Chains A and B, each alone.
Chain A
Amino acid sequence: MKDLLRTTTSLTEGVENILNLQAKLESDASNKYLAMAAWLDRNGFANTASYLYKQAEEEREHFLKIFKFITDMGGIAVTPSVPEVQQEFASFREVFEIALQNEIAVTQAINKVIAKCRAENDYATEDFMMWYVAEQREEEKNARRALELFELINENEATGKFELDVQIAKIG
């Protein structure tokens, strides 16, 4: 009797499930950045708004990369639902504090995917996910740098917010 499961896909059910969860997380991250960018835009922070619009695009690319990988491996990619995201923020600084928290959550989730791959001896998926490890290192560094700029530039000074808007947009 043929092994139809293995000939159809190289992903185990466990790895496929966790990859679908990761794809959803990346998709959600894209929407969160989009909401942040819109908030920044309507509050006059045009430069950082552009920066976060770009981040939203990047997160969507990360989502699609996983989504495509699942189907390429013969798995079943599940289109994620779109949940409500936070639309309002207390301050300019809070936007970037939340952005860093999101990036940390994504990094932790990626580590879980890799741990699962190792537990199931799925080295092909582990190799694929290594790109995300490097990417998250960069994303977290950038998110931390944004908060660091809030320490260096006093946003309550005359041109503080304006300067922060210019400098944060230069990150990365």
Chain B
Amino acid sequence: MALVSDLTTKVLFETEKGYSYQCDLTNKIIINFVDTVSSYKIQDFLLFQRKVNNVDILDMLYDLSDKSDAQLIETTKRNFSRNLTICEIVQLRELLNGTKFTLNLHSMLCNIVNVELI
């Protein structure tokens, strides 16, 4: 698969539960989290990351009712739709935040290189 070869050069972030990479052919970010693969335009990825970061973990921890054991996480265009436990939300958060960090770092490096070329 073409996408697999991309993985060797364009992995953005990797955790025990998944990894992310950038596809330059489609300009998308691909997230593989616990064997669920979903792809995002950059804006959709940023919305997804914010959504996962905005989940109130403490509220879920303190709420002893069954409904707070898991939360439905859905993204734009229903790329990703899963009921995640608190633990999985923390793991997904780690993956998305790590991905965002790499994207930011890459953007900063490109900016520095571009400025030096001028």
Contacts and interface: CB of A to CB of B under 8 A. Distances in A.
Contact of A8 (B10, B22, B43, B111): B43
A4 to B, nearest CB: 5
B22 A2 contact: yes
B25 to A, nearest CB: 10
By size class, the interface of chain A is 10 to 19
Given A1-B10, A1-B22, A1-B106, A6 B111 contact: yes
Contact of B110 (A3, A8, A9, A76): A3
- 8 shortest interchain CB distances as A-B pairs: A3-B110, A5-B107, A8-B42, A4-B42, A2-B24, A6-B107, A3-B107, A5-B103
14 contacts: A1-B9, A1-B24, A2-B22, A3-B111, A4-B29, A5-B103, A5-B104, A6-B111, A7-B27, A8-B43, A9-B43, A74-B43, A76-B46, A76-B47
Interface of B: 9-10, 22, 24, 27, 29, 41-43, 46-47, 103-104, 106-107, 110-111
